[in-house]
Amino acid sequence: LVGLFGFYRWARGRERDARARIDRLAHFDTLTGLPNRALVADRLERELARARPDGESFALLMFDLDGFKQVNDTRGHAAGDALLALVAARAGEAVRASDTVGRVGGDEVLAILPPTRGEGARRVAEKLRAALARPYLLDSPVDSVSASGGAALFPQHGADAEGLQRAADAALY
């Protein structure tokens, strides 16, 4: 019985670990460790549900890397992947713990800043821009990468997730 109980505990632990790994793969970008598009969408919907009743403002920042394609083309995808991992780390350091920063595709990153007004969003955007503009050390320094960003505020620029993302994307370009 002791052996059977030990096997049962081992199997349960292994199952728990497998479920945690599946959950991580389903909700986080494997390259950067940031929340992926699905988890960012879920967090945005939750933030909308929280902010709607009181009309409380929050910001959505969208930014992408200028010069990323050149790094990928000239230094290879491994260098591009390393660059994205460094960008994720810097972006995570530039925001508050209550903010969500996620990779939504390629070199595109989205940040949800609850509760924030225009001036607060501008300060965070500047902090992110400055953090991402510093040179990156890969196999040799890369100094041709900067970030372009756009912001949208709830409820001024959109009342739903799609409207806010469209507004932030328009501000980006």
Q: Among residues 29, 64, 99, 107, which one is catalytic?
A: 107
| Distance, CA of 62 to CA of 54 (rounded, Å) | 24
Is there a catalytic annotation at residue 169?
no
* CA neighbours closer than 13 Å in the CB half-sphere of residue 11: 6
DSSP 154: E
| Distance, CA of 16 to CA of 68 (rounded, Å) | 38
Q: At what angle do helices 77-94 and 68-75 cross, to 10 degrees?
A: 150
> What count of other Cβ atoms lies within 10 Å of the Cβ of residue 131?
17
Active site residues: 107
